[in-house]
Structure 1
Amino acid sequence: MSARYDMLTNRRAIIDRRRLADALEALEGEREVLRRQACGLLKGALDSGRAEIAARLTERPGRGAEIAASYAFLTDQLLRLVFDFATTRLYPASNPTAAERLSLVAVGGYGRAEMALHSDVDIAFLTPWKQTPWAEQVIESMLYLLWDLGLKVGHSSRSMDDMVRMAKSDLTIRTAMLEGRYVWGDTALYDEAYARFEREVMAGTARAFVVEKLAERDQRHQRMGDSRYVVEPNLKEGKGGLRDLHTLFWIGKYVNKVRDVTELVDAGLLTRAELRQFQKAENFLWAVRCHLHIITRRAEERLTFDVQPEIAARMRYADRPGRAAVERFMRHYFLVAKQVGDLTGVFLAHLDEEFGGKGKRFALPIRSRRKPSNLNGFIVDRGRLSVPDEAFFHGDPVRLVELFALADRHGYEIHPTAMRLAQRDAKLIDRARNDPRANALFMDVLTSPRAPGKMLRRMNEADVFSRFVPDFGRVVAQMQFDMYHHYTVDEHSIRAIDLLSRIEKGEMDSDHPLSATLMRQIVSRRALYVAVLLHDIAKGRDGDHSVLGGEVAERLCPRFGLTPAETETVAWLVRHHLLMSATAFKRDLSDYKTIIDFTEIVQSPERLRLLLVLTVVDIRAVGPGVWNGWKRQLLTDLYELAEEVLRLGHKQNGRRERVAAKQAATRVALGWSDDRFAALVKRLPESYWVAEPEEVLIANARQMATADAEGRPLVIETRVDTERAATLVTVYAADHPGIFYRIAGGIHVAGGNIIDARIHTTRDGMALDNFLVQDPLGGTFTGPERLSRLAQAIEDALANRHKLADRLAARPLPRTRAEAFTIEPNVLIDNRASNRYTVIEVNARDRPALLNALAHALFQSKVTIHSAHIATYGERAVDVFYVTDLIGDKITAPARLRSLERRLLDVAGGVPADKAAA
């Protein structure tokens, strides 16, 4: 029996095998009757055992290792009962031959005596030679019984020769057998099989096994996103998860023949302190996994947003000022994941010493180059930067920062032993925090022309970063409980530095052409790097993190050695790092006042350049899929409009020049006569020419001309816009009240999501509305059939052929993950943001057809929508409308504004528009 079971108390409360064995022995009847009766007894024992374990987990929610062992113990006892029942009652062998021997072995995770509620039961049946008819009958009857109990069984049946042959050729089988543990049956057969496995499979192959396992680990990390700081982590397969701990144990077991994790200390692979860290990490991760299986009622390994709050509550985390219970729980998770990474580095260092020698290593590549002449006391150990002795950092704490600066400067990996000592001595940096040498070295790392993100991440792993910049330490492993941010705050900031460096080096010219161009013009390079690092440094504190972050920057920048001018620039950038995205994504860029208000805050071309680049790397570092061509286009448009105002000084001239240039280019492309084109210009307001890019102006003109020539009252055109990663849908129809909400409803019925809407009315009463539409996965609608279905759905909605509300009600897809978040609807009405329009901003939890519902509410409120701007941030939707009353004036009457706010709040909260408060 596993040594893990020693921690279990009152085992008979989980399952009383002796009592059950007696009950099974007392059963009478034919074989099939016996099977059914046995299944009933065993199912009752399984259910009561699981209930007992669940109660123990509720009582002591952090005892993960004990609970994992309890599930394995319960499984052991059931398998023993099933084995005995099959071999003595169902298929007894009265006079067994030498070939009729059978051993039941637990393999994989079950072999480690670790299981959660819905873990697979991985077993192997061992026979001495070719399987006999008796063994086949026993194995088959056992498997049917186990399946009837509802267990998910992974099984194999092999002779000893087969086991050896397959373990040699397949790494997965070899790993499973490495963890093999005797459960029941012929003990001599098991002992012989294990001896052959050690002698014929393991002997002389330790180095190859380590290399293969590390390569397998790296591939797994790549599949999982190669970061331990993703906010919905896979706690089994993800970086810093249980599988990483398993890998360490597998390697230790294979190399040093250890049977239990505690023996890794005697083998010299872990110290006693590191063993305690290993066991604490394992205990925490198993506790989380056991809670997760119980909550989800399946073998779930991913900590998704919808389960995180419940696990936090079950594990008794509580809210604290500025940080919710779920965020405290997840921060603990990420700190444990980081600790697993630290243990991995230490473990590999020990293995390196064991397998290395004469300059050979297996864990990390050696950089082939001559040793630099001056390393200021540091040494190079088999191609990696290291320290000469354990007291090296005590001699001068500045060396804790210098380690990373030298590694970056000379292109060295850092030896795991040096990393281990740096982590141990990180607290010494408190004495050198204000030392100009240390701060200069830190700035060298941060602004390195090589790979600053890589070395900052290494500093973070060694805890040197968080001690040197305590404000950064406050956001280490801090998650934001929303569906928008994919990484913890510290990981997001370091990824943003990575992106900035890559843009500066010209590696992302095709993705970010404007940013790449501007980086070559920026004068305040140091200020930009510091601002990117600090832009989210005040998250998790009470108050606006932008304002608080600006205060942190004002305090830190002089210490880093920045000039007063650079400090002012950094603080301004941190304070306003959300300004550009908020303006571009939530305001009408064709409204002249939008640009004026923006430039009055920015004030200088250099700040504009810095803000654009900061905004780009901030959005791009949020996570995969967040950045797209539409956002790039909006930011580019805002930059060009603002740059024109700042450059020309006289704002109106720039706008007129831009409109005139667009009109001239459009006329040339169309090839129309002056009179014909003048008639088009006369029909359309100036705001239309500002809002639309040239290719849309040309397409719209041709669509209008065709419709007018053919006398068609409605023309719907669709065109894939690869630049904006969306499909452009243009509707040309007679304008009438409610046209916008009907079009929005039709687009949703066809499965589309509107990401931007530009609504225009010609001076002769025609609506010309351009919508940017994406599919549910954030891509473009493509293919003639889908585009045709999209156009038909809009036409049906405008013609009122079907009851739109019924079709929309049938359409929504479940959004269970979004429902995990509580977002109080909020409506902001601003009459100062535009000279001509009332601007209404609605914040709500995103859901299907939200835009249609809001537009319908505005229609019922007798409001005319002139433009709509739609942004989503994970589970949060922010929809902005530029509106007037029916005669084209701003809405200013207080009673009307209050009524409008109430109705929109109701609709945003889920009340149907026709039932919302008027």
Structure 2
Amino acid sequence: MGTNGGIADDLVRAREALLSPGPGQRRLAPEALRGALVDLHDFWLASRAAAIGLAEGAALVAVGALGRRELVPHSDLDLVMVHDFGKRAGAGTDADRLAEALWYPLWDAGIGLDHSVRTPGQVMQVAATDLRAALGLLEARHLAGEQALFDKVNGAVRQAWRAGIRNRFNELVEFTNDRWVRNGDVAHRVEPDLKNGRGGLRDVYLLDALAAAQLVDRPGADVAAARLLLLDVRTELHRSSGRARDVLRAEDADEIAGQLDMGDRFDLMRALSGAARTVAYAVDTSLRAAKGAMPRRGLAALRRAPVRRPLDEGVVEHAGEVTLARDASAAKDPALVLRVAATAARTGMPIAAGTLTRLADTAPELRTPWPRAAVVELLSLLGAGRSLVNVVEALDRGGLWGRFFPEWGAVRDLPPRDRAHVWTVDRHLVETSAQAARLTTQVARPDLLLLGALLHDIGKGREEDHSVVGEGLARQVGTRLGLPDADVDTLAAMVRHHLLLPDTATRRDPDDPATISRVVDTLGKDPRLLELLHALAEADSLATGPGVWSPFKRRLMADLVGRCRAVMNGEEPPRPRPLDPAAQEMAERAADSGRAGVVVLSPDLPEAGEAPGEDGLCTVLVTMPDRPGTLSLAAGILALHSLEVHVAELGSHGGVAVDTFTVSPRFGRMPDPAVLRESLAKALDGTLHLPEALARKERDYAQPAGPEDRVPPRVLWFDDEATGAVVLELRGTDRIGLLFRVAAAVESCAADVRWAKVETLGASVVDSFCLVGPDGKATLSRAQRRALEEAVLTAATG
């Protein structure tokens, strides 16, 4: 095939034709494309091997994707040339000559190649010492050359794998766990690694390896379907990106979903989540089964089989797993399934796969209302903390969890719409329950906290407001559990209002009595409900993603709840706080001198230059002549000195702007206030050009955001009917000086800012601004809002 100048040119052209068919040519579906790529490379390699005389005494072997017949568009070719030329003169030279004649045309054509040349003895040595190589050799397939040589080596590799698995099993488990830690879960990552993540393709190949060791059966139809979906998505990812990629990014998912006729990226991610969870569960159960099926030798063969140790009524431990006692019957004991689950969560032991199957086959539906014993076991399960997660996953994969909560089907594998969430909705509910278990001692009704945590987002996956839908579903579940009417009302209110406290704390002015009255009236002046919602908000934030429950948010929430509790207890509604005496004194000095002032006010920070307090927050007071642009100017100075602003409260006194900022250092310690004052003075007199200085700061210190970290900015509007406030909320990607740029954009539209709050969620940020129009009224026309929105979005992306 081909000429001496480009032996593999025809192979490259044929590959390109398959990947990019011309006008009028049919675009191959993913599975057909993989098959065509395998056939193409098999034919070229076999023809090339024949042309160079690779025959008796040598064999060309495919491993990896080509060996599995799962070649995706930009996979490397993994090839091994095995030779048995013995010790005759020139044997090594002959092997090298054949290998070079095979490899060089592929290299010259730019085709990715992983290659080796080995004798049968070297193959066995590598398989015995390199676990990754051993797993690859289990997938070997003969391409050309001596078939008998391949059969001999292939048989020896498989026999050695079966015979040595006992000594390699722990290494295999550790190797797998390390990979999971590095790459995360396919099922729950917003941008999953389809190949290396937990539940990905390498786990499918692990199941094949365990079956090759004759420790478990070949994977079933459900794993085969999951494998096919993972392969199809990876195939389209390679085809659309034009290169080898395993991480599915959000910006690629919509196109791939369209190619696979799966709607949008959320439909695709939901299907992927289900597939990955199927694979992950199969791996978990197979590893346990393999460990139990391991050949026993030496002294281990003389030890007695493990005994069955009672754990609870009808529940025993056997070989490190939770299983049923011999006389246990789910038909006679309605709480048995939940007792098994609660015992597994309490002990940290997995439920035996056979037990799950038996329970799924024999357990009847729980009648409404549930028996009290079943409710007790459910609460015991939910209160178990982190071990709850794996138990619920096992029940769900075994078809049992949906029997208890039919409402679960709408949120199962449902991907999050909010980028701050790292889990699918169903996993987020379980994670929230696990977090809530840590907070049960802080509330009077821990049972309602656990149930509310489990159900707070159960209304998602529908078109309507999930809190409203969830309220009705929570009533449905509470009634099914047999809760008293008052408890059903409280549970429903928890789900309906689970966002009330965090939204109010971050989008409303807590100094305004109308804000507090709104929360108190919404909750019916019920301090027990307020307490439950406070704990639920913390658990919900902790289960959302890293950084969501920040010291800043904790302080805002505690302040809001304290004010609401005071009103519920009959105390006077809070009044707007007067200007601090120290701030008044600073303002008067600034008015007399015409110079700016900066001071750090914090009970946790007695001296400037010290580290911030336990929650990492400090208060910075800034005074300067009152004029348009004070917020952007002060925010720019703080950003220039690596201070992250969380809250900005703006005021004035005697013609002087008095702005109070809650800040934390991005790194290191607080800067000296004198340094901040000097920079502010330079900015005021024009000797410091803030936009240029911040641009240099961003170039020098900012971590560059990759495509997967960038969030298209979005503006939302909130009109508070209680206070009359208008709040503009910006959601986007965080960057140094973002508050400066956005505040300047707002000020350029002649709008005044009453206060600003900034919430950073990993690489994302949520900035809220309470605005007043140019006429001083807390109303903005549609045209004013449109102009503000355009200016803010331009600032956020510029």
TM-score of the two chains, using structure 2 as the length reference: 0.84
Match for 2:663: what amino acid? L
Query: What's the CA shift for 1:541?
Result: 1.4
Contact 1:580 1:635 in 2 (8 A): yes
Q: What corresponds to 1:897 in structure 2? A: 781
Matched, 1:223 2:175: no
| Alpha-carbon distance in structure 2 between the residues aligned to 1:57 and 1:292 | 19
Which residue, out of 510, 520, 524, partners 2:445? 524
1:46 to 5, 10, 15: 15
The separation in 2 between residues aligned to 1:45 and 1:227, in whole angstroms, is: 33
Alpha-carbon shift at residue 484 of structure 1 (Å): 1.3
Q: Could you tell me which residue of structure 2 aligns to residue 630 of structure 1? A: 552
Structure 1 residues 333 and 731: alpha-carbon distance in aligned structure 2, compared to 1, 3 A threshold: same
2:332 and 2:42 map into 1 onto residues whose CA distance is 56
Q: Deviations over 1:21-62 (max 9, x none)?
A: 3xx3xx4xxxxxx2x23243332233224446999995545x
Indicate yes or no: 2:384 matched with 1:445: no
Post-superposition shift, 1:478? 1.0
SS of corresponding position for 2:6? helix
Q: Counterparts in 2 of 1:675-686, with a 5 A limit?
A: 679=585
- Does the 8 Å contact 1:746/1:793 carry over to 2? yes
| Structure 1 unmatched ranges of 5 or more | 1-20, 28-33, 257-267, 319-324, 505-518, 667-676, 686-691, 704-717, 775-779
More moved, 572-581 vs 718-727: 718-727
- Relative to total residues, which structure has the larger helix share, 1 or 2? 1
Question: Shift of the alpha carbon at 1:354?
Answer: 3.4
What does residue range 219-618 of structure 1 map to in structure 2 within 5 Å?
A: 219-225=178-184, 228-255=187-214, 269-270=217-218, 275-318=220-263, 325-345=264-284, 347-348=286-287, 351=290, 354-355=293-294, 370-372=309-311, 375-376=313-314, 380-387=317-324, 393=330, 399-408=336-345, 412-423=349-360, 428-429=364-365, 434=370, 437-447=373-383, 451-504=387-440, 519-520=441-442, 522-602=443-523, 603-618=525-540
One-letter identity of the residue aligned with 2:491: V
Paired letter, 1:840: V
Moved more, 478-487 or 761-770: 761-770
C-alpha separation in 2, matches of 1:635 and 1:164: 63
- Are the counterparts in 2 of residues 871 and 877 from structure 1 also a CA contact under 8 Å? yes
Query: Helix, strand or coil: the match of 1:481?
Result: coil
Task: Note the C-alpha offset of 1:620.
Answer: 0.6
2-structure distance, mates of 1:632, 1:545: 24
Task: Give the alignment's TM-score, normalised by structure 1.
Answer: 0.74
C-alpha separation between the residues in 2 aligned to 1:55 and 1:723?
67
- Which residue in the other structure is 1:741 paired with? 632
Partner of 1:214: 173
Distance in 2 (alpha carbons) for counterparts of 1:345 and 1:878: 39
1:807 and 1:693 mapped to 2: Cα distance? 22
CA positional deviation for 1:538: 0.3
- The one-letter amino acid paired with 1:907 is A
Residue by residue, what CA displacement relative to the aligned partner does 1:706-743 show, whole Å, maximum 9, x if unpaired? xxxxxxxxxxxx87646455787664433321122244
Q: 1:761 matched to which residue of 2?
A: 652
Q: Which amino acid is 1:740 matched to?
A: L
Secondary structure (helix, strand or coil) at the match of 1:772 reads strand
Aligned-pair CA distance for 1:346:
5.0
- Tell me whether 1:782 sits opposite 2:694 in the alignment: no
Pick from 164, 168, 172 the counterpart of residue 132 of structure 2: 172
Contact 1:629 1:722 in 2 (8 A): no
Relative distance call for 1:578 and 1:295 in structure 2 (3 A) is: same
Q: Which residue identity does 2:79 align to in structure 1?
A: I
Q: Which residue of 2 aligns with 1:7?
A: none
- Work out the percentage of aligned pairs sharing the same amino acid: 24
TM-aligned CA deviation for residue 413 of structure 1: 3.3
User: Structure 1 residues 678 and 786, CA, compared in 2 at 3 Å: closer, same or farther?
Assistant: closer
Secondary structure of 1:114's aligned partner: coil
Query: What amino acid is aligned across from residue 71 of structure 1 in structure 2?
Result: L
CA distance in 2, matches of 1:45, 1:576: 60
CA-to-aligned-CA distance 1:481-526 (integer Å, 9 cap, x gap): 331111011111111111122344xxxxxxxxxxxxxx34x22111
Deviates more, 1:381-390 or 1:734-743: 381-390
Structure-2 residue corresponding to 1:124: 80
Give the secondary-structure state (helix, strand or coil) at the position aligned to 2:624: strand
Distance 1:239 1:394, change over 3 A: farther
* Other structure's SS at 2:663 match: strand
The match for 1:827 among 699, 717, 723 is 717
The answer to whether the Cα contact below 8 Å between 1:841 and 1:878 also exists between their aligned partners in 2 is no
**Counterpart among 146, 151, 156 of residue 116 in structure 2:** 156
Q: Are the counterparts in 2 of residues 527 and 567 from structure 1 also a CA contact under 8 Å?
A: no
Q: Give the deviation of 1:340 after TM superposition.
A: 1.7
Q: 2 CA distance for matches of 1:221 and 1:141? A: 39
1:524–1:785 Cα change, 3 Å: closer
Q: Secondary structure at the match of 2:602?
A: helix
- Summarize the Cα distance change of 1:827–1:502 in structure 2 as closer, same or farther, 3 Å threshold: closer
Structure 1 Cα separation of the partners of residues 209 and 25 of structure 2 = 29
The answer to whether the 8 Å contact 1:122/1:154 transfers is yes
- 5+ long unaligned stretches in structure 2: 592-597
Residue 791 of structure 1: how far off its partner (Å): 9.0
Structure 2: how far apart are the matches of 1:59 and 1:432?
52
Q: Counterpart in 1 of 2:595?
A: none
Q: Which residue identity lines up with residue 123 of structure 1 in the other structure?
A: L
Quote the offset at 1:382 in angstroms: 3.0
2:64 maps to 1:108: yes
Q: What number of residue pairs does the alignment pair up?
A: 777
Further displaced range: 108-117 or 523-532: 108-117
Partner of 1:841, secondary structure, is strand
Greater Cα shift, 616-625 or 47-56: 47-56
**Alpha-carbon shift at residue 379 of structure 1 (Å):** 5.4
For the aligned residue pairs, the C-alpha RMSD in angstroms reads 4.5
Contact 2:600-2:620 within 8 A present in 1 as well: no
Offset of residue 203 of structure 1: 5.5
Aligned partners of 1:209 and 1:698: how far apart in 2? 55
CA contact (8 A) 2:511 2:574 kept: no
Task: Give the whole-Å Cα distance in 2 for the aligned partners of 1:54 and 1:576.
Answer: 56
